[in-house]
Structure 1
Amino acid sequence: HKIQIYFNITASIPLPLSRNDSVEVANQKRLLRALEQLTNRLKRTLAKQQLSSFHVSSEMIVSDPRSLESKKASLFCRPGSVLKGRMCVQCPVGTYFSLEYNECESCWLGSYQDQEGQLE
């Protein structure tokens, strides 16, 4: 039997009041680098010491540090928004954000969404 534990590490940085692409790119690179470093540190820590061992009923459960998998840190947007270049933009009027496909889709025939960033 296998028990899987997922860590979802999320970080955000506020956008500057005025658009400054060089500052924005530097902030994004710094954020992604910090997330990569955090992932690497977690891997090293788990290699040295087990995350956890505990008893469930009469069985002892111990983590396997070799089973740790990680994905490359990436930029993402909140539901209702999509990544365009390096910016999150809300789905425009006349569309909705599909939670199934994580993208903006045109409204169904006979319906219309008059607000940006809507989920239905």
Structure 2
Amino acid sequence: MSPSLALQAMIDARLCADAAVVALVPADDITDRRGRPASYPSILFGEAREYPLGAVKRDSTRLSLDLHVWTNTLGTREAKEIVSAMRRALRDAPWEADGHAVLDLRFEGARYMPDPGDADITHGVVTVDAFMLETA
């Protein structure tokens, strides 16, 4: 499994298992799909960037991953509450799964904006940065 896919799977598992996150976004609406979501609120996995960092004994990778938060309420309050719950759910590295370990995960930032096609929809973009090590 690629480091990017392993990170996505670990983040998905953490978000779907967190009571505070699923109280705001049902687990079925935390998904990997393109475009606007099928229902609101939702969290969609977005763009990912991998930066291999070769090592003598193991491969390590730095990754950057965007998560898209969508709400259909006026203003940014709901999106910001979802992002806050996501941040708490993603604390406490290290994590390990599928031959990869997340040694460090950082919240790089979040942006909130009205959707250009529908002013009643808020779109938030959260960027996380991870340092991962291949364990297998």
Give the structure-2-normalised TM-score: 0.29
Give the structure-1-normalised TM-score: 0.32
Larger radius of gyration: 1
